[in-house]
Amino acid sequence: MNQQVLLDWFDENKRDLPWRKSTPWGVMVSEFMLQQTPVNRVLPMWEQWMERWPSPLELSRAKKSEVITAWGRLGYPRRALRLYEAAGIIARDFHNEVPGDVEQLRSLPGVGEYTAAAIAAFAFEQPTLVLDVNIRRLFARVIDGVEHPTSSPSNIERTIRAKLIPEDGAKWAAATMEFGALICTSKSPSCELCPIKRRCAWRKSGYPKSELVRKSQGWHGTDRQCRGTIVQALRESEKLSAAKLKTMWSDDSQIEEALKTLIADGLIETTGKSYRLAN
């Protein structure tokens, strides 16, 4: 693979995403929001959050209920609480500055292997190994000759991909991620626009089909939808009784279980007679 070709492509074609010109905190917020959520849904929410809470300290001073409400319909509101908890630690233990060390990042709530590597790469221009689905798909096609990667990276894959990072690898993660998002897409890739198509093993082998491992999850009638219905209702009302919440869903037992898990996750709380967003 000719790494410089991809880096040059990135310089000419990268999207003007606001967090790319932001602070490390802005990058961190974007990474939490972008987990399983498309860019177009994140953009307006990120702008609102950064205007309201431009540093970890400001977010740490908010109420949980304010944070959950501001998260809106981004989905997986536990991400909002983990970001809130991480903000408090950063404000207290890191002088209100997002740490650049990967191990320190991984010590924060909600920051796993991928998120720590991404923050280090995008906020601090470190040549870390970032393997999101776009990057993994690009490498799987160009190098391995398969349409889609496995469901999760193996240690062998990590070792091989790490060797691809150029010596000056500050932009490598951003370039390969952008290329996978815009050109080497999951469906209908723009192969005619690909500057490395002559080196692509998948193309050379005739674009063989493989099963798409990452299948979209259903939504209608799921526990996730039930939980989301409850949280949204409590965003719009200060408090609601269990009886009122049950009128919003067809399965009483599913509502009861959702209420239990939402309390366990710290998203809502109860007085025994009614429920509200956690404060």
Residues annotated catalytic, as ranges: 31
Q: How far apart are CA 193 and CA 216, in angstroms?
A: 27
Q: Which of 82, 78, 65, 74 is nearest to 237 (CA)?
A: 65
Q: Which residues contact 246 (CB under 8 A, 6 or more apart)?
A: 252, 255
CA 2 to chain centre: 28
- The three-state DSSP-derived secondary structure of the chain is CCHHHHHHHHHHHCCCCHHHHCCHHHHHHHHHHCCCCCHHHHHHHHHHHHHHCCCHHHHHCCCHHHHHHHHCCCCCCHHHHHHHHHHHHHHHHCCCCCCCCHHHHHCCCCCCHHHHHHHHHHHHCCCCCCCCHHHHHHHHHHHHCCCCCCCCCCHHHHHHHHCCCCCCCCCHHHHHHHHHHHCCCCCCCCHHHCCCHHHCHHHHCCCCCCCCCCCCCCCCCCHHHHHHHHHHHHHHCCCEEHHHHHCCCCCHHHHHHHHHHHHHCCCEEECCCEEEECC
Residue 27 has phi, psi (to 5 degrees) of -65, -45
Residue 213 has phi, psi (to 5 degrees) of -70, -40
